[in-house]
Amino acid sequence: MNDKDAILVMEDIHKSFDNLEVLKGISLTVKRGEVVAVIGPSGGGKSTLLRCATTLEKIDTGKISIAGDLLCDTVGTKTKYAVKDDLKRIRSKFGLVFQNFNLFPHFSVRRNITESLIHVLGKSKDEANKICDELLAKMDLADKADYYPCNLSGGQQQRVSIARALAASPEILFFDEPTSALDPELTKGVLEVIRELAKEHMTMVIVTHEMSFARDVADRIVFMDGGVIVEEGPAYDLVTNPKQERTRSFLAGY
The per-residue pLDDT for 82 is: 96
Mean pLDDT, the chain, whole residue set: 94
The string of DSSP letters for 47-97 reads HHHHHHHTTSS--SEEEEEETTEEEEEEETTEEEEPPHHHHHHHHTTEEEE
pLDDT digits (tens, 9 = 90+) for 43-67: 999 999 999 999 999 999 999 999 9
pLDDT digits (tens, 9 = 90+) for 86-133: 998 999 999 999 888 899 999 999 999 999 999 988 999 999 999 999
C-alpha span between 110 and 203 (Å, rounded): 25
Cβ 227 vs Cβ 33: under 8 Å: no
pLDDT digits (tens, 9 = 90+) for 191-206: 999 999 999 999 999 9
pTM value is 0.93
C-alpha span between 94 and 96 (Å, rounded): 7
pLDDT digits (tens, 9 = 90+) for 165-186: 999 999 999 999 998 888 888 8
